[in-house]
Amino acid sequence: MTTTAIPARTVELAPRAALLPALGAVYRAQLSRARVSRIPLLFVATFQSLGIMVMMRGVVGTGPADTGAARDVVAGSSVLVVAFVALNLLAQYFGRLQASGGLDHYATLPVPAAAVVLGTAGAYASFTVPGTLLTAAAGCVLFQLSWLHLWVLLLVVPLSGAALSGVGAACGLLADRQEIATLLGQLGMSAALLLGVLPPSHMPEPIRWLRDLLPSTYGVDALARTFAARPDWAAVGADLTVCAVVGAASLALATWAYRRAATRA
């Protein structure tokens, strides 16, 4: 009895989506999903930053001697909203996604890893814009600073958000357990609070060196410089450039961590 071999049929998979369309799709999906659950936490982040700024008002005055410190406090409190959402919550999100097996869902989609990381980070960072603007405006009133250059927040928020989102996503994806991801997010948030809000002039020199290692402090410095009567725009541009470079590097790290976690899952 002879058997006839049946030729194997190859099934062609759908081509992988291009980066920009996939990025837009992930961004819209994450924005819609996080809208309900994250808005209350955004209020918490905003009220927390406002509360810290009011507390610092009891230490830092509005006189000429305290002008520099007042700028640092307002700028640091404003960027703290970004740190709470982009670093802390994103670390928790990716840690939970990895622990629950949610990465398997994304791994089956024909989308680049960079689109998943960038789209999710962009969606989380978008929620920080209203709180950051509100905190900065309230700080200008509280410390009698100029509102003239608050438009710089349109650059500070995405660049600082990119840097912190990459760090937060990497923490969540590289952690072996969800609890460790939450811990790393909380530690990063504490670092952003202590090193970003407190004026550098009040810090010991070794602490200033640690401050230079935190990506968000360059966004803080850029915003703080714009409160001056004549801002040093070259220095502002340099700080924002550092934010952009660190943001690109941290998002690249998060993309690598996503591929590693998806493969391991």
Give me the pLDDT at residue 136, please. Answer: 94
Residue 189 CA: distances (Å) to CA of 81, 168, 182: 10, 10, 11
Domains of the chain, residue spans: 38-264
- d(CA 1, CA 82) in angstroms, rounded, equals 73
For 178-237, the DSSP string reads: HHHHHHHHHHHHHHHHHHHHS-GGGS-HHHHHHHHTSTHHHHHHHHHHTTSSS--HHHHH
The pLDDT of residue 238: 96
Q: Which two tokens stand for residue 122?
A: 């962009």
Q: In the prediction, which pLDDT does 222 show?
A: 94
Q: Residue 217: what are its φ and ψ, rounded to 5°?
A: -65, -25
pLDDT for res 77 = 93
What are the per-10-residue average pLDDT scores of the chain (265 residues)?
50 59 82 68 82 86 74 92 86 86 75 83 82 92 90 92 89 90 90 87 86 90 92 94 92 89 73
Copy the structure tokens of residue 35: 């809208």
Q: What is the pTM of this model?
A: 0.85
Outline where 58-152 has alpha helix (H).
Answer: 67-82, 90-99, 103-107, 113-126, 128-143
